Structure 1
Amino acid sequence: MAAVSAMEVQVTQGERQPDFTQWLSTLRAMPVVLLDLDRATTPGKNVPRPHWVVDDIRHEGASFYVRVTAAPHSRRRDHESLMAPVTTLVSGVKSLRRDPELPAFFSEDTVRRLLDVANPRDGIREVSVAAVNGAVGPYEALDEVVREHARTAVRQAEKSIGSITGRLTALNATSKGLRIALHDPVSRRTVKGTAPLSLKEDLRMWWDHRVTLRGTITRNQAGQALMIAVRDAELMPESAPMGGPVADQLYGADENWTGGMSVDDYVSRVRRRA
């Protein structure tokens, strides 16, 4: 029997039964969250995206359980890649409970959409999520700690001029300019932003390629990039030039290059000066 890629959502009611419209609103943002995370964990222009369908609904005690699974046509993808957005979502909730920072593979938009799911509504006290991979769970609750850390993670703290290098994963033209998304493999996060229409042709040709975007970067209090207002862009080589140094050759080259600071603290300080 083929492995099933699925997720279960637990909706716990409050003192009274949940309002039907509010119950639907709680679940409405979840497919978009999964799509965001699927594009981040399995990037690519021609990757077939999974279509999530309801597989089971049940009511036990004060909780409703909704199980969603990837539709059969989605299984042109392997099981591991289909499970990636689900397991990334669950691990992201755990990360948000621990730290007020963007989890790996989460963009600012993803966190805001997760907040739409997490916020209590009429008759709904709490929402939890779990991966279904042979067995269910454990459930991770979108509780008040997670919600508060999520709000902090997307709160703008500073703006500075800088650059971000990664793979261009989205490009949409509007009457006011371009909306773009860049996946940074180093931070394992997607940064969204805007760009002038004058860059449209260049960015269209550079879709799904490595680029460096320069402009005004908005960061949260942890120094993570939330968005970028692009001023110019440059196409980058897909790999290091032939004969150039590789990481293994640079390790240990200068044992005190951070001045005694940890690498994370040093990078955070450099970003704040950018």
Structure 2
Amino acid sequence: MKTSTAKPRRELIDVRFADERAKTRIGWLDSKHSFSFGRHWDPRNTHHGLLLVNNDDVVTPGFGFETHPHQDMEIVTWVLRGSLVHQDSTGHSGVIYPGLAQRMSAGTGILHSEKNDSWRLEGDRHSDPVHFVQMWVVPDTDGITPGYEQLEIDDELLRGGLVTVASGRKQHDGASAIRIKNRHAALHVARLQPGESVELPQAPYLHFFVARGDVTLEQAGGLSQGDAVRLTATGGQRITAVTAAEVLVWEMHATIVG
């Protein structure tokens, strides 16, 4: 995919409420899609900045996504509740849980599966669903060697503020939990207690997602779990938690074109 770093010409704050998202509901999966995904195709809603996918998924125990392929995509998975087992064709496997940052670079091609069956690795069967957000951004170079990275960052999140979870930006070299293969993109996460606030970064493109709780965002008003805001040519607004909340913020300095 072609990308451009040309600056957008006008400021835009586009609020997308949770109920407006396309939905995929089958026996074991409740998935809500912020952008076009699978059979839910809308040519007016294909991406924002470099972000192509922001899927909000709940998977019942014992089920999940069987082995399937990806290519030339940076995939970041953020678990909100429960645990998710990752296995891929590069030999990586493990359990992803809240506070663990995880990135998979599909590159020239990778096969992986994601299931809610951590008892296969850890022991006793559980009955808890797993709730996670999976986000895809395009890499700035196609055809790289597939890769995987994860790091636990619960302590950093407890200290407050926006924590840089995944980044390819030079400014975050050594400061982000994990690296992604796009020098124009970064993902920040904040866990906020009622009354606490953080400020959005300045960037040509921002995607702000309320993963849980209720917040207010300057110039957008009250937002609840599943709501999102797409910001263009702006930033610096304050987010304030009304209830205990968790927010995900993509900072992007380029966009997909064509």
Please classify the TM superposition score into its range, dividing by the shorter chain length.
under 0.3
Higher strand share: 2
Larger Rg: 1
> TM-score scaled to structure 2, two decimals?
0.27
Q: Could you say which structure has the greater relative contact order, defined with CA pairs below 8 angstroms and 6 or more residues apart?
A: 2
Higher helix share: 1
